[in-house]
Amino acid sequence: MPTLRLAIVGAGPAGIYAADILLREARGFDVAIDLFEQLPAPYGLVRYGVAPDHPRIKGIVNALRDVLDRGDIRIFGNVRFGEDITLDDLKRHYNAVVFSTGAIKDADLDIPGIDLDGSYGAADFVSWFDGHPDVPRTWPLTAESVAVIGNGNVALDVSRILAKHAEDLLPTEIPASVYEGLQSSPVTDVHVFGRRGPAQVKFTPLELRELGELRDVDMVVYDEDFDHDEASKLAIATNKQVTVIDRVLQQWRTREVGAASRRLHLHFYAKPLEVVGDEAGKVSAFRYERTRPNGQGGVDGTGEVREVPIQALYRAVGYVGSPLPGVPFDERYGVIPNHEGKVLDEDATPIPGVYATGWIKRGPVGLIGHTKSDAMETVQHLVTDQGSWWTPEDPSPEAVPALLRERGVEYTDLQGWHALDEHEIALGAAEGRARIKVVPREAMIDASLRRVRAEQG
Ligand SMILES: Cc1cc2nc3c(=O)[nH]c(=O)nc-3n(C[C@H](O)[C@H](O)[C@H](O)COP(=O)(O)OP(=O)(O)OC[C@H]3O[C@@H](n4cnc5c(N)ncnc54)[C@H](O)[C@@H]3O)c2cc1C
């Protein structure tokens, strides 16, 4: 039987689901899969995006780990596509490639002052509090009043982590440096701003409701935002999710506030105009225009400009994918151009042997579960395209590890990941916690390769 030698680039949920689906698929050929991941740990945004105080979602790594632990997928961790291995290399050694490189960067918010000192991207902050090795170890948490721009779940994650007392995050896997940073934060007020009304938010009810349960944090909503137009009333009456969100917000309208040492304010109908700076170039206020519902579910400006004094601002207006060397990229949408996962060239013609799945295929929206259906579609095409796969010069399994060694790439494998995993769990156990994440890349690699290095003397 012929063998499909497949490279998958990116060991987030999309890449791991694609591998799993292909291995389970009824097909007339054998499959050998190599998974390349730039980090020494797999799981993508499940490890480095999902908030640490969401252990149920973080628990999805258990299902992903089961897939890897079956042992029929080889992992090459700490290998960056475009630097350590190229598209030409993959063509020489595989029949096809699936890119599942996700998204880790912030989308832009094009308003004056967005580059001031004290203005941050939510994705960078998330990478910090989730212990991503490629961001600085410390985060400047010196602001008492903070603005968070956006009305999706990432805005809520960022606001919650900012407003929460650091002690309440101790049961999670946050690294020591993150705990220390959050502990020193003098924050008292976190203001979340959305352009539209409470019936048009993109939060999910569970994430919203959770804010009301934070210890020593008052939820503040404003009566002026609840003068619903017909479109909002209809959404509240007919859309279950919006009904629940409305119920949660209405409860907060009647709650006493004032007892807590921190407040989390939700402002609706606020269109960002400018991040205002002081003479030293530091963020000093957020200026916005009050909007009003336009009857069709959208909003119009009212011309009324308001300003809130703040010392830091986080834009949570979406993630964006990054281009990969030698692979087509759609700058406008931040994705690899594709039709149902078949990567397209400039003329919108499918490029043989090149596929995409997950956030880099579809854009950075949707939950982890969505990456599964996404992977099914891509894998389906990969299987039926057998006639157009590449014919590799050297398909031997030893060729790629030999190439990486020759290039001096210190790659890790499944055993290395197990070793790092065990090390993190042991660090946690010493302090009565489930796990403490290791952050510096070198320390991750050390923990992964310690046994191998010891054996090699
Ligand atoms: C802040 C945040 C919170 C979220 N919370 C939830 C939640 O609570 N519930 C939920 O269901 N979903 C949540 N999501 C969504 C979920 O994380 C995504 O749906 C999912 O991770 C997308 O999977 P992916 O595999 O496409 O991308 P990713 O998870 O981004 O994985 C991509 C992988 O590719 C690797 N990679 C990138 N470039 C290269 C390269 N050049 N070479 C090698 N490897 C590379 C990356 O290191 C990464 O491991 C959240 C997302 C964010 C941003």
From first to last of the 457 residues of the chain, give the pLDDT tens digit: 889 999 999 999 999 999 999 999 888 899 999 999 999 999 999 999 999 999 999 999 999 999 999 989 999 999 999 999 999 999 999 999 999 999 999 999 999 999 999 999 999 999 999 999 999 999 999 999 999 999 999 999 999 999 999 999 999 999 999 999 999 999 999 999 999 999 999 999 999 999 999 999 999 999 999 999 999 999 999 999 999 999 999 999 999 999 999 999 999 999 999 999 999 999 999 999 999 998 877 899 999 999 999 999 999 999 999 999 999 999 999 999 999 999 999 999 999 999 999 999 999 998 999 999 999 999 999 999 999 999 999 999 999 999 999 999 999 999 999 999 999 999 999 999 889 999 999 999 999 998 777 777 6
| The predicted structure's pLDDT at residue 134 | 94
Q: How far apart are CA 2 and CA 281, in angstroms?
A: 63
The rounded Å distance from CA 326 to ligand 1 centre is 22
Q: How far apart are CA 83 and CA 326, in angstroms?
A: 11
Amino acid occupying residue 84: D
| The predicted structure's pLDDT at residue 452 | 73
Please report, for residues 34, 77, 148, 223, 343, the alpha-carbon distance to residue 66 in angstroms, rounded to integers and kept in the order given. Answer: 16, 17, 37, 49, 29
The rounded Å distance from CA 240 to ligand 1 centre is 28
The residue with tokens 């509090």 is: 129
Ligand 1 atom 21, closest CA: 45
Q: How far apart are CA 141 and CA 129, in angstroms?
A: 12
| Closest by CA position to 320, among listed 9, 60, 101, 152 | 101
Ligand 1 first shell, C-beta below 6 A: 9-15, 36-39, 44-46, 49-50, 54, 57, 80-82, 100-103, 126, 154, 157, 319, 324, 358-359, 366-368, 371
DSSP H helical ranges for 223-268 = 230-238, 240-254
Cβ partners under 8 Å of residue 375, min gap 6: 14, 17, 18, 21, 100, 357, 358
The rounded Å distance from CA 376 to ligand 1 centre is 17
452's tokens:
């191998």
- Give the residues across from 130 on adjacent strands: none
348's tokens:
């919108």
| The predicted structure's pLDDT at residue 456 | 73
Nearest-Å Rg of the Cα atoms of the chain is 24
Residue in 17, 35, 50 to alter for ligand 1 test, most ligand atoms within 8 A of Cβ? 50
| The predicted structure's pLDDT at residue 71 | 86
| Closest by CA position to 372, among listed 67, 80, 69, 53 | 67
| The predicted structure's pLDDT at residue 313 | 98
The rounded Å distance from CA 103 to ligand 1 centre is 6
The rounded Å distance from CA 202 to ligand 1 centre is 19
Which atom number of ligand 1 is nearest to the Cα of residue 60? 11
Q: How far apart are CA 424 and CA 440, in angstroms?
A: 13
Which atom number of ligand 1 is nearest to the Cα of residue 54? 8
Answer yes or no: are the C-beta atoms of 162 and 146 closer than 8 Å: yes
Q: In which element (H, E) is residue 165 found? A: none
The rounded Å distance from CA 392 to ligand 1 centre is 30
The rounded Å distance from CA 269 to ligand 1 centre is 30
| The predicted structure's pLDDT at residue 191 | 98
- Give the residues across from 277 on adjacent strands: 283
Q: What is the DSSP letter of 261?
A: S
Q: How far apart are CA 61 and CA 416, in angstroms?
A: 16
What are the φ/ψ torsions at residue 274 (nearest 5 degrees)?
-165, 145
The rounded Å distance from CA 281 to ligand 1 centre is 34
Ligand 1 atom 16, closest CA: 368
Q: What is the DSSP letter of 317?
A: S
Q: How far from chain centre, in Å, is Cα 174?
A: 16
| Closest by CA position to 356, among listed 100, 103, 102, 10 | 100
Residue in 368, 373, 376, 404 to alter for ligand 1 test, most ligand atoms within 8 A of Cβ? 368
Q: How far apart are CA 16 and CA 36, in angstroms?
A: 11
Amino acid occupying residue 277: G
| The predicted structure's pLDDT at residue 451 | 74
| The predicted structure's pLDDT at residue 57 | 94
Which atom number of ligand 1 is nearest to the Cα of residue 82? 41
| Closest by CA position to 359, among listed 31, 49, 35 | 49
Ligand 1 atom 22, closest CA: 359
Ligand 1 atom 41, closest CA: 81
| Residue 448, number of CB atoms within 10 A of its CB | 27
**Is residue 150 classed exposed, middle or buried when 0-12, 13-18 and 19+ CB atoms within 10 A define those classes?**
buried
**Is residue 231 classed exposed, middle or buried when 0-12, 13-18 and 19+ CB atoms within 10 A define those classes?**
middle
